[in-house]
Amino acid sequence: MQRSSVSSALFEMGNTRVIVAVYGPREVQNKSQQNNNQALVRCEYSMANFSTGDRTRRQKGDRRSTEISLVIRQTMEASILTHLMPRSQIDIFVQVLQADGGTRSACINAATLALADAGIPMRDIVTSCTAGYLCSTPLLDLNYVEDSAGGPDVTVGILSKMDKVTLLQMDAKLPMDIFENVMQLAIEGCKAIANYIREVLLENTKQLESRRGG
């Protein structure tokens, strides 16, 4: 069994703040779910009661939380080298501390940072960003007001170095030419976030090496 890692990351996109904790790889708790060929990846998404202005208490396991948990898990599985960690499990716990649009993307970016910090082997870092179309203008990383205006938006997740799309969700129809422009804007956002995350990881590595050297 591989050495179990525990790591966390706090990630902000605009006024949206997300914290993610990663546990694993560790022993599979439910033996019936154990896979001899790859690691089991689990994800649990939740929103803090104070994360939105309406203070609506969202029940654990509600439909939206379950759907977002699945999206995050599937997106991260496209990046994690699960075959290197057979008969183990990796748990990703995601909580939104403050929601102001783009929470799904922020969660994926926070999960990537936490997984990388935990030393989980990945084929590439996966990043996500949302772009929308409002008042005949493509907009990147919509906030709550822009998202609530009713315009269509596209959420994209990519493996940046491999230039591979791992997530594509759209909540309304768009003409093909506009869709291509909006999607390209989201991809550019993903690549910018990937560069930022790599800088953070490089800085963390330098600090760790500096402490060891001292």
pLDDT digits (tens, 9 = 90+) for 26-80: 999 888 899 999 999 999 999 998 887 654 545 556 888 999 999 999 999 999 9
Q: Using alpha carbons only, give the angle 79, 110, 139 rounded to the nearest 5 degrees.
A: 95
* Total number of residues shown for the chain: 214
Q: How many CB atoms lie within 10 A of CB 203?
A: 10
Whole-angstrom Cα distance, residue 20 to residue 193?
17
Whole-angstrom Cα distance, residue 116 to residue 127?
12
C-alpha torsion 83→105→191→150, nearest 10 = 140
DSSP one-letter string for 8-31:
EEEEEETTEEEEEEEEEEEE-SSG
Q: Which helix (H) or strand (E) holds 60?
A: none
Residues near 104 by beta carbon (within 8 Å), at least 6 away in sequence: 68, 71, 72, 128, 130, 155, 169
The answer to whether the peptide bond before residue 152 is cis (omega within 30 degrees of 0) is: no
In the predicted model, what is the mean pLDDT of residues 191-214?
Answer: 86
User: How much of the chain exceeds pLDDT 90, in percent?
Assistant: 66
Q: How many CB atoms lie within 10 A of CB 158?
A: 27
Q: Which domains does the chain have, with CATH numbers?
A: 6-213 (3.30.230.70)
pTM: 0.90
In the predicted model, what is the mean pLDDT of residues 122-136?
Answer: 94
